[in-house]
Structure 1
């Protein structure tokens, strides 16, 4: 026996009304929650409590264990339950004999409370147990105190409120979600429970994360489930999440929002953000337990693990969680004593010696022990015969599937499958069907929703006959082959087998052990089920959860080897979903595999290949891989033009994609020419109002904007936006994108207030339609922050009253989410980082500004070809930071270099070049080259006026700068004239209180920030 708390002081009197006595609570680990609650009730009344968890090693006589218990201090209070009497395991006869021998002569030392309604040994009556079941906490406490002869008057309110104790174990947490049913055969693992409990309870806020890690089949999930049941009464919220895939994890965690009473929209991304924020703040609940099951890829979800005052338990095969703020607890195979105890509980007919031999043969692996002992108990086969089968091998082709699997596993499974075939052969068919879904939660309801006339004869009866279906499922449950718990469906659906949980080990071995004819037939059925479940509209955010459920199963159904047009259409729609929802990397992996498979399956010139190339290059481009995308796109354009002619719609779509690749590579003139040609062709073939024409029109505006033709881009974007509003619904992703582009054009032209108004509305709609962490949402919020930044709205404390953040915090939020959702090197993330660096520079955080700026420059230099304008622009921004920290000479050299590179890249009159010139003239002035500064600023004024107009903010900044350079040349009259005219135009254009106007009146030299653009 071991105590969780050291006894203190001498044994006190036990008479009713005694002021102080020691009570030793003796309990099975399974009943820890009851022991904690009882101890808390007693300590509140001034009693000294000692906790002793009962251990029952089989090599020690039970009577000796009870005699040792009498050495404990004070009154011994036993928490009676079936678990207490099953430890060892011990028979009722053993217990009756020991209780009569040890407790019978001295019953006054013992007391008991019963927390079970199950049958217990008859001699337990000597303990005088009082039942605490089927009643409320108040009555249970009264009975407990009465049994110990303690006063039961209510405590004073101040005493009762002094601390918050454990929840009454018979009451559930306020929120309890998707936790698997308690395994009544759970055995052992007490040291792991103790270690996990103490690590979590002693952790500081935000650090309460423990990972159970170990090989497949070792019982990590069962351990986590038992922890939830055993300690759940100490929490207000217990929530279970399947964490095998990022998309599934995000959706299931988001489902916690309504349970917490959080007010959010229906989109799961918005719910996810709200849930994480609620858990972090501990409002409305600070005592929460989140269990992330099957998180084998930390890189996929570590950034989404909530922090805060609650606790997180992770189950994983991957020990790399120790690099992500988690303490590791290794879950090994059972100890031999645990194996024997478990087998005897699972198969009571086996003796201890037989259980020991079986455990040795099965290498103490819990999953295998559970499945084997389950059917062996119902079989006439002896343990010796079974072990003989294991040794000889039922299947001569037994091959070790994985390093995770013991060799005995394959053979044991062959035996089990034979047993299933003999009893309910349809259960084997169902099990094999499941292996063509991904392991874990399997939506078998998709099979039952298929039309019956499309099913093979072998499966039609199983899937159409509810009685046979339930019989097959119950057979699999009996032998622990599947579980019925699922977060995705209601409890009613679970009990009817609408969703099953299949362990990855079982999944792999069953899939291997299958006749080839069945493999082909069953795979076709699952493919058809997945295709039939296709929501069909990948651009509709409301349908994204459906695609998120389907995509994990594509690989296991081997859909890429199917020639069925409906299955291939599902692949296209999943790729489109991944593109619109921002799951770029997963989409690229699928696209890459599909292209390789279909080129072999269909031939390189098949029509499906061109459509696949289109979706694949979209994903590559969205992830910033312009080189690969351009190579694939150009090859497709050339082949299609040659085979079908320039007016072919497939060729035009490929050409439009190629123009986008050219924009990514900064070949803006070529992109413009191609965009114009594609638009003209679409108009001729389809008319002005076709969605494909509008897409081409949108792309033309992007090319114009990148070339600095902001007014022309504005006109095109406005026309596209109005047409999309008519043709598509207002919240269609393309409509929202047009609104964003229109607001961006307005901002580039200096119409900041109008741009901010449109973008504010756009953000509201994008968040509702796409969710808070969709890349389109991040881009929309970024543009809103930039609108407010350019408006001069830089006061961190200003309350806007519209629920949106001021620009600094909004930029920081967008950057943080961009790094998490898109990755640190994604083009949009670098765009966000550039803006945050500029903002930090202007608000005094020069260290953050420099760190971000240096990272952006370094990443652009690696990712982009030398001479790319983004590299020149990033260096121009870096020069401003160097100027601010006093490195004038280096800053001057860098800004001159940036100006020359930018001019070569986009021409001397491009707004980006004019901005670089504005900064360079300032550095020339600062290092004493006054004449060179005046010459450059004067030229910049002329070019900016011609390109952007006299009152564009960049032109106005150049005019203010030129006035400063004229003063440096001591041409005061001309300087005064230029300055006054510029100030007058600033007042009229931006307003007298705008930051730029106020700064110009104070004769602070203006500057220009380079801002990367989307392509």
Structure 2
């Protein structure tokens, strides 16, 4: 007998059929790899015999396989079906024992297995390293254990399953009750493997409760050994997604600062390059709104797995894998694993009653197993206890869910009533990830008696959490291996279906008490400094919960301050749409709660107006701010700080509406008042000084604007910090003034450094970062660095459209610049299409009389000139010049610029005399307003020389041109693109450039 065994081992082992449960796929892949390196042919066969096939027949079918049969023993191998130990022992004795030489086995579990598995004489691979596991495998198969040749040993292969990937975070614990879904797992795996570099994105989509998250988690555990990095990110909210993705930076060993914008940029760049890890898997859980985060989905050599109820991910280069409800066989298998006391017939009836919905099966079977209630009684209760007139809690899960939940809540009340209190507290946070630590961090004296015991007694808290976890009501969000089973972790996850039904089922008195606790917990978590970019992740965590805690109905000053700070954060971080929605609701709610003239309402109106102004609703904000200014001036006087803040907002509205003189007068008075009240170096004074500089720039008074912005920048660097968002904002303003004065190299130098810091501190997608990059693109353009300008103009516009929307003021400003650049250096058709959209956007946002409308029409006239529509171009340019003159005055640089373009078109339509007269007038006025060496003045002088040549006045033309060329060379340099162009007698033009207000 021993001799026979040796012969089978030596010969038959050249081909091995590996039989494994799908749950152990990672082990199967590793074992197959180790054997194939030694020349063994391995046929992998997943063990999943149909329930209706007797186990003996299934084992006989397995014996039809080629060569030696290697069985991978685990709990799961024997649970497939599931089948009991008694059935297994009988089948092993009958089929395997008589022919045991065909079989070998390795074990990867320490759990008790059916007694008859001893027939396999399994090698134990648990609790050993990879080398020892491989040695034991080879010995069991009778194969040599000599070291492999160097080439074979160095070949990359699957990671040893007991070793986790180098970077691992946020992944839920493995669900030991996971059932079925083999085809879905295989489909997702194949789709990711077959995708090209940068295209490995798969979305598991389906209705609520079908187990998308559990499927994604199982995918991670089955295939995670193939990755160096596995990172799980909640993706139901953009801000939270950004925060959690940024937390990957230190895990990747990236050298970054503390700012999460810097970390986010570094992570995305690292994943894109595949450095330091090319094999990464990112799981985006609960990404139900693709438009909110699709632009943040990393590309690169790794894979992205998304769970979502929304099939629209197919429009964003993702493969869809639909996750349906369980089939009946899966439902029955799952119930029997969850509730072993039930029979197969009872499980089938229960599955039918619960419509095969995995979440409902999990929760119901869990407590039914502990209950004395029969399945028949439960189904009768489920069917007869539903009020058929009750509206469904949600359209995408069964009506039976409502009754099932009523039963479950009663069960929880009878066993651990504190778990119901905790669950109800959680329902006043947003569904999904709930930061329960905020509740535990509250001062004990602030809690009502009903809840103080729960919060202050760790044993009671953990008991409540454990009870909810036992029935799959919540799952833990802190899932690292060190977390104890009873630990609450940092947060819990509450499914939205559960969230809805719990809130609906709550008595009014309890609801009021619980919601008050959650409001105070959120208020206590307020960092208090929304201007500090380092605290933005904390605000990102808080803001989604405001709606669910109904904070707008609270009269607590701390809660109201939280609302104001969140609005400020949303404004500064660029979350305009969410901020406007919150602000609009708050204006209505606080007006009803406190009255229209309450001081808190004025605070609110200021923050709300900032958000509206950010999206270009200047008329709407003017109405809000004028009402505030008039009331506060009457009630408190002109030098009241609240009145001055409202007046500052009104001045910004006036700038937006093109009323620059009035805005300047108001800004000057506001700055004087702040200086008188607070001194020169107070932060509010510096903000007023910043705003006055903006008014001066819009009036064309660039030198004065530069001086104010220089002083503001220096003071902010001293008072705040180098990386404070307001300091960075002043850098943009100062660099803009330098550029508008023709000091291009200085502007580019400052703006290049500032862009780098913006990206690190505020992130690539922040509106202020986009502004900084846009100004840098303009610096490149003016300096003649066309390739750098082209790339940056395109990137900024694309991101502006994606992040802010096509009609946003910033996006429209970016589009105006892109159109001008494309007109001269790219695609004239593209330039025309963009220009038409820009003109339309400004008319919709502002009015026909606004200077931005006139300026962009002047730009469009140049496009029409280039495509040969001379008459149309001439009429449009003349209209733009007249409209600009009426809007800002005859001597404004914008009007002078329009006139340079009009003169060129007058020449084209055969009116050289008036063209020469116009450029002579522009030269005189520009010299007086801007100086003889300002770029606009120099353009006017070169244009005038060209007009004089057109009139055949060569002597004057030569004199004007020679002097202008000398000044160009002295000011910009002999080889600057403007100097070279003028020397080549290319007629200059002028681009209107919209400014932020």
Pick the TM interval, shorter chain: over 0.9
Supply the distance in 1 between the matched residues of 2:470 and 2:204 (Cα, whole angstroms).
Answer: 26
Shift of residue 42, structure 1, vs aligned partner: 3.2
The equivalent of 1:469 in structure 2 is 461
Q: Secondary structure of 2:433's match? A: strand
The 3 A distance-change label for structure 1 pair 166 and 883 is farther
Q: Secondary structure of 1:78's match? A: strand
The 3 A distance-change label for structure 1 pair 168 and 887 is farther
Supply the distance in 2 between the matched residues of 1:610 and 1:405 (Cα, whole angstroms).
Answer: 44
TM-score of the superposed pair, with normalisation by structure 2 = 0.95
Shift of residue 241, structure 1, vs aligned partner: 0.3
The equivalent of 1:974 in structure 2 is 956
Q: Is 2:933 the counterpart of 1:951?
A: yes
Shift of residue 531, structure 1, vs aligned partner: 0.7
* Counterpart among 353, 360, 364 of residue 352 in structure 2: 360
CA contact (8 A) 1:429 1:459 kept: yes
* Unaligned ranges ≥5, structure 2: 1-5
The equivalent of 1:141 in structure 2 is 134
* Unaligned ranges ≥5, structure 1: 1-12, 797-805
After superposition, residues 108-123 of structure 1 pair within 5 angstroms as 108-123=101-116
After superposition, residues 454-493 of structure 1 pair within 5 angstroms as 454-486=446-478, 491=483
CA contact (8 A) 1:581 1:775 kept: yes
After superposition, the C-alpha distances for 1:813-832 in whole angstroms (9 at most, x for unaligned) are 33333233322222112222
Supply the distance in 1 between the matched residues of 2:933 and 2:253 (Cα, whole angstroms).
Answer: 52
The equivalent of 2:303 in structure 1 is 311
CA contact (8 A) 1:322 1:328 kept: yes
Shift of residue 741, structure 1, vs aligned partner: 1.7
The 3 A distance-change label for structure 1 pair 400 and 268 is same
The equivalent of 1:55 in structure 2 is 48
The equivalent of 2:444 in structure 1 is 452
The 3 A distance-change label for structure 1 pair 999 and 506 is same
Shift of residue 684, structure 1, vs aligned partner: 4.5
Q: Is 2:245 the counterpart of 1:253?
A: yes
Q: Is 2:518 the counterpart of 1:526?
A: yes
CA contact (8 A) 2:262 2:761 kept: no
The 3 A distance-change label for structure 1 pair 20 and 366 is closer
The equivalent of 2:987 in structure 1 is 1005
Q: Is 2:87 the counterpart of 1:94?
A: yes
Supply the distance in 2 between the matched residues of 1:93 and 1:83 (Cα, whole angstroms).
Answer: 16
Supply the distance in 1 between the matched residues of 2:483 and 2:831 (Cα, whole angstroms).
Answer: 53
* Counterpart among 86, 89, 96 of residue 103 in structure 1: 96
Shift of residue 248, structure 1, vs aligned partner: 0.2
The equivalent of 1:389 in structure 2 is 381
Q: Secondary structure of 1:106's match? A: helix
Shift of residue 352, structure 1, vs aligned partner: 0.9
Supply the distance in 1 between the matched residues of 2:346 and 2:207 (Cα, whole angstroms).
Answer: 26
The 3 A distance-change label for structure 1 pair 493 and 924 is farther
CA contact (8 A) 2:438 2:525 kept: yes
After superposition, the C-alpha distances for 1:97-116 in whole angstroms (9 at most, x for unaligned) are 11222222222333222222
CA contact (8 A) 2:280 2:303 kept: yes
Q: Secondary structure of 1:612's match? A: helix
After superposition, the C-alpha distances for 1:288-342 in whole angstroms (9 at most, x for unaligned) are 1111001111111111111222111111111211111112222122111111111
The equivalent of 2:801 in structure 1 is 819
The equivalent of 2:897 in structure 1 is 915
Supply the distance in 1 between the matched residues of 2:214 and 2:790 (Cα, whole angstroms).
Answer: 46
CA-atom RMSD, angstroms?
Answer: 2.5
Q: Is 2:36 the counterpart of 1:65?
A: no
After superposition, the C-alpha distances for 1:809-859 in whole angstroms (9 at most, x for unaligned) are 333333333233322222112222332333344444545544443432343
- Tell me the number of residue pairs that the alignment of Structure 1 and Structure 2 aligns: 992
* Counterpart among 204, 207, 213 of residue 215 in structure 1: 207
The equivalent of 1:434 in structure 2 is 426
User: Which shifted more, 823-832 or 681-690?
Assistant: 681-690
Q: Secondary structure of 1:103's match? A: helix
Q: Is 2:773 the counterpart of 1:791?
A: no
The equivalent of 1:606 in structure 2 is 598
Supply the distance in 2 between the matched residues of 1:771 and 1:925 (Cα, whole angstroms).
Answer: 48
Q: Secondary structure of 2:592's match? A: helix
CA contact (8 A) 1:24 1:50 kept: yes
TM-score of the superposed pair, with normalisation by structure 1 = 0.93
The 3 A distance-change label for structure 1 pair 681 and 192 is same
Supply the distance in 2 between the matched residues of 1:886 and 1:34 (Cα, whole angstroms).
Answer: 71
Shift of residue 17, structure 1, vs aligned partner: 6.0
CA contact (8 A) 1:398 1:410 kept: no
CA contact (8 A) 2:466 2:486 kept: no
Supply the distance in 2 between the matched residues of 1:421 and 1:395 (Cα, whole angstroms).
Answer: 22
Supply the distance in 2 between the matched residues of 1:146 and 1:890 (Cα, whole angstroms).
Answer: 89
The equivalent of 1:986 in structure 2 is 968
Q: Secondary structure of 1:441's match? A: strand
Q: Secondary structure of 2:180's match? A: coil
Q: Is 2:517 the counterpart of 1:535?
A: no
Supply the distance in 2 between the matched residues of 1:829 and 1:579 (Cα, whole angstroms).
Answer: 16
After superposition, residues 368-379 of structure 1 pair within 5 angstroms as 368-379=360-371
Q: Secondary structure of 1:104's match? A: helix
The equivalent of 2:670 in structure 1 is 678
The 3 A distance-change label for structure 1 pair 488 and 1005 is farther
User: Which shifted more, 934-943 or 185-194?
Assistant: 934-943
